[in-house]
């Protein structure tokens, strides 16, 4: 099994690393998978189980040249991505263990961004 280094610089599905894209290593949102998870959670109005998050994240990451198993995605989700987002105050567990929602602060920020984007388009 392939072990990932204990850093926040990861190769994305296109073969780029966070550093190559100019992202600051060490911040929770430098990883495109965590950005995907945050967008996914803000799109739902109910707590999302880790199983569903892992399934959608796998579909997002899976390419013909880089197949990835559901178990590996779920492991990374539970052991790495969700804890980093939770530690940053961006997501929290809701009700039953294993279900996540964006924090109120994250939702407020998302609404502000959507409002600004809508204003820019008009």
* pLDDT < 70 positions in the chain: 1-26, 115, 122
CB 92 within 8 A of CB 83: no
Q: DSSP character for 74? A: H
Phi first, then psi: give them for residue 9, nearest 5 degrees.
-95, 110
Q: For domain 28-121, give the CATH number.
A: 1.10.10.10
Ordered by start, the domain boundaries in the chain are: 28-121
- pTM (2 d.p.): 0.69
Start-to-end C-alpha separation, the chain: 51
What is the per-residue pLDDT for 30? 85
CB 42 within 8 A of CB 106: yes
């Amino acid at each position: 099994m392939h072990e990932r280094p204990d850093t926040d610089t990861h190769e994305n599905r296109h073969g780029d690393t966070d550093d190559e894209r100019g992202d600051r290593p060490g911040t929770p949102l430098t990883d495109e998978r965590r950005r995907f998870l945050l967008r996914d959670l803000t799109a739902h109005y109910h707590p999302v189980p880790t199983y569903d998050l892992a399934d959608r994240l796998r579909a997002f990451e899976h390419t013909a040249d880089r197949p990835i198993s559901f178990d590996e995605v779920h492991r990374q989700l539970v052991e790495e991505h969700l804890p980093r987002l939770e530690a940053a105050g961006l997501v929290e567990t809701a009700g039953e263990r294993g279900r996540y929602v964006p924090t109120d602060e994250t939702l407020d920020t998302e609404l502000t961004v959507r409002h600004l984007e809508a204003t820019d388009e008009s």
